[in-house]
């Protein structure tokens, strides 16, 4: 009780403090750009973007007086979308130049591309170059292919150049080698900025032991490739410190299962900029959130906290790391000391943020330059690991912000290749160094020759809700339709067609078992250990590691049609997915033509077993809510936490398993599909899944989105409430389908007639209302009307809190009237999930969700 009110108090304080920060930020102390041009291409007049910034149409603008002429089409996209600047585009079929008279100095150029069809111009036909004075910003660029590969609907590319007094010429040149090619642009931003780069003295991390300082030329041209608010939420341009930069959430770039812990500043700590770090370097929101490795020193010593950032090979990159200690008790040197690796090379040993900054709450940033060789895409690795040589107090590491800028190459170009083939020519700089050492040549001639170009590729929050492309493309489908049943997914191993070679790289993420070990674990597939049987084969209970660890062992039927290929893809997919609310794949065995998968053992079986036709005692309401919240978090992770959206496709009560502590884990990704990419808001597929849970929209349109899972989850919610199966053919026609019957009862105000009799009078009315409202919204007819999984999680948490509150005020007279108690659940959950929790943590800890919840709450209370 005491702990609880303490938590509420500190959480309330946190809320208050964040509100204060928002109020206290005096924008006049931020940088005010001299030039701030926002050009809405293809439009005329003034228009506001969703964040309130005012854009001017480029028709008849002084930057392009000839634009009234022929040949340059101003085109409107889907008229229903009216978002500035992407609802209109300027299309060029021959080269065209915008001229911006500017005063001398450094600027950001932001180019907005919405790869959509414009009238008779197909999105996929646009290939073009963009130059700015002597610099090539883009070459043979296809916004369509790029957005598709990144899974973004919309692209913003940010460049920084130093303009001389002549101003800036920005030229769009359609490719001459592609038929029907054209160039297009939706919006151009020109913002003058202070000197962010030339005072930097980055260390060149090139595999040599002693790092030399790399000199950033004052005329360097750069492209921003990544700008991440590590451990925090995306920061939109208007909340930046005057430069209108976008800061993204970092969670999607974290490697593997180890997400560390994200947190924000102690309420007593205010971010205070020293003179060496002007406040325009990064806004306080960046420094006041961080990611660290976690509370367990032993775990931390065994992993690297790693971000993987795909980049174009063949360029130098400036990597800027932002640090700030923001929580007690870390206030002194040698408390938290760590190593920083870039591309597997040591960038800094014994990094000590307090040592650099001289105090808690004081920001500091460090610059490094790494070189990459070859052509095509490669990954830039940024990794942190505790350094124990100096015997620090904590074995941990921290990072608050991460920026990556591409430097122009010796051809004055920042342009990479379109995505597609990965670089075959990628050369590890260390090999080069070894080679050159052999040949007794000099130190690689790098330093002088390369002067700046930075390329930035941004996409993210500012795009949400904007510019949803409507293009449809049929996807080839894999094997025939199957429904699955039973624990651990007895469905055939399926399917999202990656190649074996791609899969093999991930195999080291999970463990290999010999057939002898598997036989020992299952007592030679003793039938008394059978947990279930399905199309795929049989699932056995087993013990490994000398009986310590219980596992579920899924053995493919040797006669099953499923090939090695599907087996590999399942391993590839599952081994990458780690989450507290997903059943984990522990390992696999592929020997003697056997294909065997080893999973965590879920002692309490399926959720379904606890609901109906069971000897098990009925679950109390609170526990049911906890199970639903866990499963919803697992699905939310599938939808957003991995590199690609993953759609489960077979969400149902038998695929939600419970471990010995009744923690819910989503299982059976056998039917899962990688979700839609940028130009497709859905994937078209054969309808698969289980009767009773089908999304009607998916059924009608054969178009799968993550909202299909939301629908099925809505059915599960009613199953939990009513303790009856999704389909019961024994009942009269109108009652066969639970989803239809429940919606009918809800409309007619008779839901209380069909709820689990055990629950009668045990559910607090507000909790019931919140729960039913959520379930009904999940069952909305079209995906658009359904909530996202994260909303479902929040609403279910609210339902749980309302229940707890009611139960407490029942037992403790008067109860707790402080509304903040309602947030405590969220806080608690986050600390439980720690290491494994991913984007969920980030999105749940952040301040705005809390605020939203408080609004929801207020409406609830008013009612
Ligand atoms: C500061 O904020 C006020 C009100 O929010 C606004 O009117 C003003 O233009 C802002 N100033 C700058 C320099 O952004
Ligand atoms: C822009 O182009 C015009 C016409 O080609 C040229 O006169 C002018 O010098 C250019 N300005 C810059 C800054 O390159
Ligand atoms: C821009 O270039 C000029 C001339 O090279 C240099 O003097 C100036 O410092 C540069 N400005 C910035 C912000 O880098
Ligand atoms: C924060 O400040 C308050 C008031 O000065 C003080 O009571 C509290 O102990 C401080 N908390 C920490 C963690 O220092
Ligand atoms: C870093 O090491 C990992 C694993 O050891 C490897 O997969 C990756 O390609 C390396 N990255 C670079 C940029 O060398
Ligand atoms: C962390 O990364 C460095 C550099 O790639 C590597 O040498 C080290 O083995 C890694 N440590 C762990 C525990 O993975
Ligand atoms: C620079 O351009 C030349 C000629 O187009 C080309 O051969 C060379 O590979 C380019 N260099 C780089 C680093 O892209
Ligand atoms: C332009 O990019 C496309 C797609 O990557 C590629 O197929 C084509 O060969 C490229 N064209 C040129 C001229 O480089």
- Give the CATH number, domain containing residue 574: 3.30.200.20
Asked whether 524 and 481 are in contact (CB, 8 A), the reply is no
Among the candidates 406, 435, 464, a domain finishes at 435
DSSP run (H or E) holding 158 = strand 155-163
The answer, yes or no, to whether any atom of ligand 2 lies below 6 A from the CB of 169, is: yes
Closest Cα to atom 7 of ligand 8: 418
Are residues 679 and 775 located together in one domain of the fold? yes
What is the distance in A from the centroid of ligand 7 to the CA of 304? 37
Structure tokens at 620: 């109390």
Measured from the Cα of 164, ligand 2's closest atom is: 13
pLDDT at 583: 85
**Domain harbouring 798, CATH code:** 1.10.510.10
Residue list, ligand 7 pocket, CB within 6 Å: 409-411
Measured from the Cα of 27, ligand 1's closest atom is: 1
Asked whether 720 and 628 are in contact (CB, 8 A), the reply is yes
268, 329, 331, 361: which to mutate for ligand 4, most atoms within 8 A of CB? 268
DSSP letter (8 states) at residue 485: -
pLDDT at 822: 28
Are residues 681 and 805 located together in one domain of the fold? yes
DSSP letter (8 states) at residue 760: T
What is the distance in A from the centroid of ligand 7 to the CA of 691? 58
Asked whether 98 and 170 are in contact (CB, 8 A), the reply is yes
Task: Determine how many CB atoms are found less than 10 A away from the CB of residue 221.
Answer: 27
Structure tokens at 482: 């199957």
What is the distance in A from the centroid of ligand 4 to the CA of 266? 9
Is 230 domain-assigned? yes
Given the DSSP bridges, would you call strands 261-264 and 289-292 parallel, antiparallel or unpaired? antiparallel
pLDDT at 76: 63
pLDDT at 821: 28
Residue carrying the six token digits 């005692």: 617
Cβ-based neighbours of 546, under 8 Å, separated by 6 or more: none
Cβ-based neighbours of 373, under 8 Å, separated by 6 or more: 313, 314, 425, 426, 427, 429, 432
> Of 334, 319, 322, which Cα lies nearest the Cα of 396?
334
Annotated catalytic residue within 650, 668, 679, 833: 650
374, 411, 453: which to mutate for ligand 7, most atoms within 8 A of CB? 411
Q: Give the span between the Cα atoms of 801 and 822, in whole angstroms.
A: 5
Is 854 domain-assigned? yes
pLDDT at 846: 27
Q: For 199-226, give the DSSP string.
A: T---EEESS-SSPEEPPPPTT--EEEEE
Are residues 280 and 311 located together in one domain of the fold? yes
Is 451 domain-assigned? no
Is the backbone peptide bond immediately before 364 cis, with ω within 30 degrees of 0?
Answer: no
What is the distance in A from the centroid of ligand 5 to the CA of 416? 21
Is 559 domain-assigned? yes
Among the candidates 548, 574, 600, a domain finishes at 600
DSSP run (H or E) holding 229 = strand 222-229
Is 801 domain-assigned? yes
DSSP letter (8 states) at residue 660: T
Q: Give the span between the Cα atoms of 27 and 32, in whole angstroms.
A: 9
Among the candidates 192, 224, 256, a domain finishes at 192
Please indicate whether residue 650 is annotated as part of the active site. Answer: yes
Cβ-based neighbours of 419, under 8 Å, separated by 6 or more: 145, 146, 148, 149, 150, 377
Are residues 85 and 106 located together in one domain of the fold? yes
SS3 106: strand
> Of 755, 746, 693, which Cα lies nearest the Cα of 723?
755
pLDDT digits (tens, 9 = 90+) for 318-333: 999 999 999 988 999 9
SS3 339: strand
Closest Cα to atom 9 of ligand 5: 379
Structure tokens at 727: 């389909």
Closest Cα to atom 6 of ligand 6: 344
What is the distance in A from the centroid of ligand 6 to the CA of 347? 13
Are residues 594 and 612 located together in one domain of the fold? no
Q: Give the span between the Cα atoms of 840 and 838, in whole angstroms.
A: 5
pLDDT at 550: 86
Closest Cα to atom 7 of ligand 6: 344
The answer, yes or no, to whether any atom of ligand 6 lies below 6 A from the CB of 831, is: no
Cβ-based neighbours of 618, under 8 Å, separated by 6 or more: 610, 723, 756, 758
User: In which domain, by residue range, is 392 found?
Assistant: 203-435
Closest Cα to atom 9 of ligand 7: 411
Q: Give the span between the Cα atoms of 76 and 90, in whole angstroms.
A: 9
What is the distance in A from the centroid of ligand 2 to the CA of 98? 10
Are residues 697 and 764 located together in one domain of the fold? yes
Measured from the Cα of 314, ligand 7's closest atom is: 13
Query: Rounded to the nearest 5 degrees, what angle is found at the Cα of 60, between the Cα atoms of 57 and 65?
Result: 125
Measured from the Cα of 428, ligand 5's closest atom is: 14
What spatial distance separates the first Cα and last Cα of the chain, rounded to whole Å? 28
What is the distance in A from the centroid of ligand 4 to the CA of 335? 21
pLDDT at 30: 80
Measured from the Cα of 343, ligand 5's closest atom is: 13
Residue list, ligand 5 pocket, CB within 6 Å: 343-344, 379, 381, 428
Closest Cα to atom 14 of ligand 7: 411
The answer, yes or no, to whether any atom of ligand 2 lies below 6 A from the CB of 99, is: yes
Is 483 domain-assigned? no
Closest Cα to atom 5 of ligand 1: 27
Q: Ligand nearest 162 Cα, by number?
A: 3
Closest Cα to atom 8 of ligand 6: 304
Measured from the Cα of 411, ligand 7's closest atom is: 1
673 is in an annotated binding site: no
Is 558 domain-assigned? yes
Are residues 261 and 403 located together in one domain of the fold? yes
User: 267-292: string of b/e by CB count within 10 Å (b at 16+)?
Assistant: bebbbbbeeebbbbbbbbbbbbbbbb
Cβ-based neighbours of 355, under 8 Å, separated by 6 or more: 333, 334
> Of 376, 377, 378, which Cα lies nearest the Cα of 342?
378
95, 105, 164, 169: which to mutate for ligand 2, most atoms within 8 A of CB? 169
Q: Give the span between the Cα atoms of 278 and 363, in whole angstroms.
A: 10
Q: Give pLDDT < 50 ranges for the chain.
A: 1-27, 69-71, 79-81, 421-508, 671, 675-688, 812-863
pLDDT at 101: 93
Are residues 570 and 612 located together in one domain of the fold? no
Query: Rounded to the nearest 5 degrees, what angle is found at the Cα of 147, between the Cα atoms of 47 and 423?
Result: 145
Are residues 182 and 209 located together in one domain of the fold? no
Are residues 285 and 390 located together in one domain of the fold? yes
Are residues 377 and 285 located together in one domain of the fold? yes
What is the distance in A from the centroid of ligand 2 to the CA of 169? 6
Is 482 domain-assigned? no
Task: Determine how many CB atoms are found less than 10 A away from the CB of residue 405.
Answer: 32
**Domain harbouring 267, CATH code:** 2.60.120.430
When divided into structural domains, the chain yields a total of 4
Residue 267 sits at φ, ψ, to 5 deg, of -55, -25
pLDDT digits (tens, 9 = 90+) for 644-691: 778 888 888 888 999 888 999 998 765 455 544 434 444 444 444 566
Are residues 409 and 554 located together in one domain of the fold? no
């Amino acid at each position: 009780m005491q702990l609880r009110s303490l938590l509420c108090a500190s959480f309330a304080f946190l809320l208050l403090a964040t509100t204060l920060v928002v109020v206290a930020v005096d924008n006049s102390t931020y940088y005010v750009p001299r030039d701030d041009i926002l050009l809405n291409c293809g439009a005329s007049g003034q228009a506001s973007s969703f964040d309130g910034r005012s854009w001017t149409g480029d028709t008849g603008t002084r930057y392009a007086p000839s634009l009234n002429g022929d040949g340059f089409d101003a085109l409107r996209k889907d008229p229903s979308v009216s978002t500035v600047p992407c609802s209109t585009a300027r299309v060029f079929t021959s080269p065209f130049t915008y001229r911006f008279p500017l005063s001398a100095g450094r600027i950001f150029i932001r180019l907005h591309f919405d790869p959509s069809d414009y009238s008779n111009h197909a999105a996929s036909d646009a290939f073009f170059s963009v130059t700015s004075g002597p610099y090539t910003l883009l070459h043979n660029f296809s916004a369509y292919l790029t957005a598709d590969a990144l899974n973004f609907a919309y692209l913003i590319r940010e460049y920084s150049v130093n303009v001389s007094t002549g101003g800036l010429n920005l030229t769009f040149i359609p490719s001459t080698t592609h038929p029907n090619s054209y160039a297009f642009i939706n919006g151009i931003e020109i913002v003058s900025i202070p000197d962010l780069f030339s005072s930097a003295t980055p260390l060149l991390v090139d595999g040599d032991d002693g790092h030399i300082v790399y000199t950033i030329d004052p005329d360097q041209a750069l492209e921003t490739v990544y700008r991440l608010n590590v451990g925090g939420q995306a920061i939109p341009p208007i909340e930046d410190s005057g430069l209108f930069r976008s800061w993204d959430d970092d969670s999607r770039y974290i490697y593997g299962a180890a997400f560390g812990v994200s947190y924000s500043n102690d309420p007593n700590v205010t971010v205070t900029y020293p003179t060496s770090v002007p406040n325009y370097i990064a806004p306080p929101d960046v420094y006041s959130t961080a990611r660290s490795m976690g509370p367990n020193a032993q775990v931390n010593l065994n992993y690297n906290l790693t971000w993987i950032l795909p980049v174009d090979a063949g360029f130098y990159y400036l990597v800027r790391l932002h640090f700030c200690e923001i929580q007690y008790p870390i206030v002194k040197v040698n408390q938290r000391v760590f190593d920083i690796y870039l591309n597997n090379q040591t960038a800094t040993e014994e990094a000590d943020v307090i040592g650099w900054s001289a105090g808690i709450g004081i920001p500091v940033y460090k610059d490094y330059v790494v070189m990459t060789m070859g052509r095509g895409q490669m990954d830039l690795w940024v990794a942190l690991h505790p350094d124990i040589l100096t015997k620090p107090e904590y074995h941990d590491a921290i990072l608050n912000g991460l920026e990556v800028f591409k430097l122009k190459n010796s051809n004055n170009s920042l342009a990479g290749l379109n995505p597609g083939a990965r670089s075959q020519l990628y050369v590890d700089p260390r090999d080069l160094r070894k080679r050159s050492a052999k040949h007794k040549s000099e130190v690689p001639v790098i330093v002088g020759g390369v002067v700046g170009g930075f390329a930035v590729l941004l996409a993210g929050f500012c795009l949400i809700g904007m510019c949803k492309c409507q293009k449809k493309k049929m996807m080839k489908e894999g094997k025939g339709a199957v429904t699955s049943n039973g624990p651990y997914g007895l469905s055939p191993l399926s399917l999202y067609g990656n190649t074996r070679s791609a899969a093999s790289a991930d195999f080291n993420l999970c463990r290999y078992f010999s057939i002898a070990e598997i036989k020992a674990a299952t007592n030679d597939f003793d039938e008394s250990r059978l947990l279930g049987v399905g199309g795929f084969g049989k699932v056995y209970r087993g013990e490994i590691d000398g009986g310590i660890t219980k596992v579920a062992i899924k053995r493919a039927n040797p006669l099953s049609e499923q090939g090695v290929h599907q087996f590999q893809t399942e391993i590839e997919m599952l081994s990458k997915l780690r989450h507290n609310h997903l059943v984990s794949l522990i390992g696999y065995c592929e020997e003697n033509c056997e294909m065997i998968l080893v999973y965590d053992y879920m002692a309490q079986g399926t959720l379904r077993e606890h609901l109906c036709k069971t000897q098990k005692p009925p679950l109390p309401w609170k526990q049911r809510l906890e199970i639903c919240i866990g499963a919803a978090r697992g699905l939310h992770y599938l939808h957003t936490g991995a590199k690609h959206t993953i759609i489960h496709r077979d969400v149902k009560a038998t695929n939600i398993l419970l471990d010995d502590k009744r923690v819910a884990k989503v299982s059976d990704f056998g039917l899962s599909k990688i979700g839609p990419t940028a130009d497709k808001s859905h994937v078209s597929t054969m309808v698969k899944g289980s009767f009773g849970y089908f999304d009607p929209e998916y059924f009608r349109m054969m178009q799968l989105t993550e909202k299909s899972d939301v629908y099925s989850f809505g059915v599960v919610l009613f199953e939990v409430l009513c303790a009856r199966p999704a389909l019961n053919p024994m009942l009269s026609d109108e009652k066969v389908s639970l989803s239809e019957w429940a919606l009918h009862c809800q409309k007619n105000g008779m839901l209380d007639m069909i709820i689990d009799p055990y629950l009668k009078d045990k559910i607090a009315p507000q909790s019931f209302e919140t729960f039913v409202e959520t379930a009904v919204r999940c069952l909305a007819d079209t995906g658009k009307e359904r909530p996202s999984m994260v909303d479902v999680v929040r609403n279910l948490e609210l339902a749980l809190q309302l229940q707890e509150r009611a139960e407490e005020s029942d037992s403790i007279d008067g109860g707790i009237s402080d509304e903040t108690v309602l947030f405590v659940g969220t806080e608690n959950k986050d600390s439980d999930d720690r290491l494994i929790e991913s984007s969920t943590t980030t999105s749940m800890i952040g301040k705005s969700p809390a605020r939203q919840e408080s609004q929801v709450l207020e409406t609830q209370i008013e009612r």
